[in-house]
Amino acid sequence: MIDFPYIKDIARKTPGKIVMLVVDGLGGLPLPETGQSELETASLPNLDALARRSAAGLTTPVATGITPGSGPGHTALFGYDPVKYLVGRGVLEALGLGVELADGDVAIRCNFCTVDDAGTITDRRAGRIPGEEAESLVDLLRQIEVPGVSLSLHASKGHRFVLVLSGEGLGTDVAETDPGTIGLPAIPAVALSDGSQRSAEAVGAFIAAARDLLSGQPAANMVLARGYSQVPDWPSMVDEYRLSPAAIAAYPMYRGLASVLGMEILSTGETFDVELDTLESAFDRHDFFFIHYKPADAAGEDGDFQAKVLALEELDAHIPRLLALGADALVVAGDHSTPAIAAAHTWHPVPLLVHSALTVGDGVPEFTERACAMGSIGRIPATGVMMLALANAGKLQRFGP
Amino acid sequence: MIDFPYIKDIARKTPGKIVMLVVDGLGGLPLPETGQSELETASLPNLDALARRSAAGLTTPVATGITPGSGPGHTALFGYDPVKYLVGRGVLEALGLGVELADGDVAIRCNFCTVDDAGTITDRRAGRIPGEEAESLVDLLRQIEVPGVSLSLHASKGHRFVLVLSGEGLGTDVAETDPGTIGLPAIPAVALSDGSQRSAEAVGAFIAAARDLLSGQPAANMVLARGYSQVPDWPSMVDEYRLSPAAIAAYPMYRGLASVLGMEILSTGETFDVELDTLESAFDRHDFFFIHYKPADAAGEDGDFQAKVLALEELDAHIPRLLALGADALVVAGDHSTPAIAAAHTWHPVPLLVHSALTVGDGVPEFTERACAMGSIGRIPATGVMMLALANAGKLQRFGP
């Protein structure tokens, strides 16, 4: 289940508090011109000072060479094997939009696309149709009704939208209709096993109705469906770790993921400052806090080295507030690397700090990829981070007699 | 199957090219007199300069403390778990001799040995009988015929030869006849499961006939059989990685192994210079190239420190030709260590370089065991090398939403 099979037996309830700060896209790579990464370039007096009083290491999010999406990157940090505990694309997209999914609902990631008169796909993304235009097409499709199943539609970015099926006896084992390439017709949404017959029929009926409604639309005249998924029934952090865990994240997707893992979602605002307000005011009520910092990833994805440096410096300025809470274990981790020179998530190991009463004197000179590589934690799978957090907070009993 | 279970889902076909140079027996150990390893003693201006622009690390071929043969050392570098994907000893010996094996053929590694009048083994290797003498004994055994099964015999080094059975319905689950110690009789070649009855009968008949023919021979009067194996049906690099892979190797065994993994074998010559000619002329036709450099291992096995230093220096002189190709990802790896002071393969981690557009500024000062240990890749199982090669060449999509 969780990384260590006896975790439930050795986890114990204590008053100790854990704060896990996840810096999205934390890891970087050197600019060829300077040989220095974003963390090495940024001025981070508070994180560097913390690194000197912390245990440091590097985490491998999934496996060597494997670049994680945000889903696997986060589930791993909470101790769940990201290969085994994989959230479906439809659910993740729905969670990202803040859509509430009930047990049994099937969330489906859909694209607007274009087809020619013969039904052959000519553009799988309908020319990356602008958001406003897509929203009006989603509105148009809201009139579609399918007997026995409730449909709800949610516009996402550009050509993407989410279709949610609600009703009895819905499965997710339905053929994805996107052939993955142009020049082919869409694949029929047939059921791939018995329990998914109703879902397949509903998707088929929806697509047929959508094609009729979109016929003659200049921007997109067809839809493709994939990533059929349901909110998974995973072991909860409450039961596995004997925690009362809470999540503080500005973006819906991270809140959605956290709720799947059993965390209570604390309502918060858009900025890290407001997230810290939320943390301070809820600090007495929980013993584990996941707090999410997004701007480093966004800058990295944009390929903007200087913006990522600034995002890290802005984070650094907030570290004293985090330290002032006096958590028994403070973890600073990242879900994956997003080097500006790659302008994308990558597979590279991610810096990690764990600060507790047992780490003073154990430090590395600064909070960078290279310094953390020399730290006492070494290079570990990201699933080990949660174990270190629990252990440093005194929440894990000895294993075995 | 391969190191990461979703590899097929995330691998994508791109025009990017990967060159993986495998330096056989690359890793070494310091000479006690100088405290410097072969790599540290050699003058390697090109490899050192490449190291400064590459990501570096160390690979563990199989597991800590485990010394690999050439088979596991190579299969791991191509991403196949070397414990799970183990080529049988008979097949490896046959491939090493350049014997072509058809599907269903059973290759058997045999030894000449000596037995006393009671049939008790007195020398399992017949005094390590010289090659010429063994070859004439192999010739003598070529007259043996077994009904319904074709036999072919191939002399190997010293007391070793390979027996290949061809025919219908042959299995490999036959008792090995070598008891592993002297003072015992040979074990009868009985079938250990139903599908191997025909093989067991053929081996039994061959051994009985061999004993008669060898009776009175001074050097060896009996044979032992083990390592019954067939060419395995493994997942292909073509399907798993969506590559068009090619192998360039002077020695038959490496070509044989590469073909088992789905690589196209390019005909080449005896020297690395000719191997590079082959690489250059085929560069447009494939997107993955395994190119093999043997002399470092041969010198290490001979226990000749200076010869290994020279072999590495000779390799270094060819690095500019390799770089001139402009591969998207260039990997320099080793299948195992062969320190001259050990005069044998050892278990020690092996230096690794990965060079791509994302590694500039990420380097280590030189290409040695100690410098690579400080590199950004860290110490990884050798099965991760293929993932890094694919990732650095842009051939792996993100895992999970």
pLDDT at A189: 96
A67:B396 CB<8 A:
yes
Judging contacts by C-beta atoms under 8 Å, the chain B residues touching residue A89 are 401
pLDDT at A131: 83
CATH 3.30.70 spans which residues of chain B? Answer: 92-229
Of the candidates B3, B4, B361, the beta carbon closest to that of A30 is on: B361
CATH topology of domain B92-229: Alpha-Beta Plaits (3.30.70)
pLDDT at residue B98 is higher than 80? yes
Judging contacts by C-beta atoms under 8 Å, the chain A residues touching residue B10 are 66
A67:B391 CB<8 A:
yes
Give the helix/strand (H/E) hosting A322.
helix A305-324
CB atoms within 10 A of CB A329: 24
How sure is the predictor about B2, in pLDDT bands with cuts at 50, 70 and 90?
low
Q: What is the rounded distance in angstroms from the CA atom of residue A7 to the CA atom of residue A241?
A: 7
CATH topology of domain B7-87+234-392: Alkaline Phosphatase, subunit A (3.40.720)
Of the candidates B109, B123, B140, the residue with the CA atom closest to the CA atom of residue B211: B140
Residue A348 contacts B, CB cutoff 8 Å: yes
A164 and A108 in contact (C-beta within 8 Å)? yes
pLDDT at B273: 97
How sure is the predictor about B104, in pLDDT bands with cuts at 50, 70 and 90?
very high
Q: Give the distance from residue B168's alpha carbon to the nearest chain A alpha carbon, in angstroms.
A: 38
Q: A57-78, pLDDT tens digit by residue?
A: 999 999 999 999 999 999 999 9
Please write down the long-range contacts of A396-400, taking CB distance under 8 Å and 24 or more positions apart: A396/A7, A396/A10, A396/A11, A396/A12, A397/A10, A397/A11, A397/A12, A398/A10, A399/A6, A399/A9, A399/A10
Mean pLDDT of B382-395: 98
Q: What is the 3-state secondary structure (H, E, C) of A331-358?
A: EEECCCECCCCCCCCECCCEEEEEECCC
Which segments of chain A have a pLDDT < 70?
1-2
pLDDT at B30: 98
Q: B167-217, pLDDT tens digit by residue?
A: 999 999 999 999 989 999 999 999 999 999 999 999 999 999 999 999 989
A72:B399 CB<8 A:
yes
Which percentage of chain B shows pLDDT scores above 90?
Answer: 90
Judging contacts by C-beta atoms under 8 Å, the chain A residues touching residue B362 are 29-30
A66:B10 CB<8 A:
yes
**B 2-21 residues with CB below 8 A of A?**
3-6, 10
Going by DSSP bridges, is the β-strand pair B245-248/B264-265 parallel, antiparallel, or unpaired?
parallel
Q: B50-86, pLDDT tens digit by residue?
A: 999 999 999 999 999 999 999 999 999 999 999 999 9
Judging contacts by C-beta atoms under 8 Å, the chain A residues touching residue B389 are 65
Q: Give the distance from residue A178's alpha carbon to the nearest chain B alpha carbon, in angstroms.
A: 15
Q: What is the rounded distance in angstroms from the CA atom of residue B153 to the CA atom of residue B135?
A: 10
Going by DSSP bridges, is the β-strand pair A245-248/A288-293 parallel, antiparallel, or unpaired?
parallel
CB atoms within 10 A of CB A397: 10
Judging contacts by C-beta atoms under 8 Å, the chain A residues touching residue B388 are 64-65, 347
Q: What is the mean pLDDT of chain B?
A: 95
Q: Give the distance from residue A42's alpha carbon to the nearest chain B alpha carbon, in angstroms.
A: 16
pLDDT at B261: 95
Q: Give the distance from residue B280's alpha carbon to the nearest chain A alpha carbon, in angstroms.
A: 27
Judging contacts by C-beta atoms under 8 Å, the chain B residues touching residue A344 are 398
Judging contacts by C-beta atoms under 8 Å, the chain A residues touching residue B54 are none
Residue A89 contacts B, CB cutoff 8 Å: yes
pLDDT at A37: 98
Find which of B358, B359, B377 to mutate to test the A interface (most A CBs within 10 Å of its CB): B358
pLDDT at residue B3 is higher than 80? no
Q: B256-281, pLDDT tens digit by residue?
A: 899 999 999 999 999 999 999 999 99
pLDDT at A348: 98
Q: Which two tokens stand for residue A60?
A: 């491998």
Residue A28 contacts B, CB cutoff 8 Å: no
CATH 3.40.720.10 spans which residues of chain B? Answer: 7-87+234-392
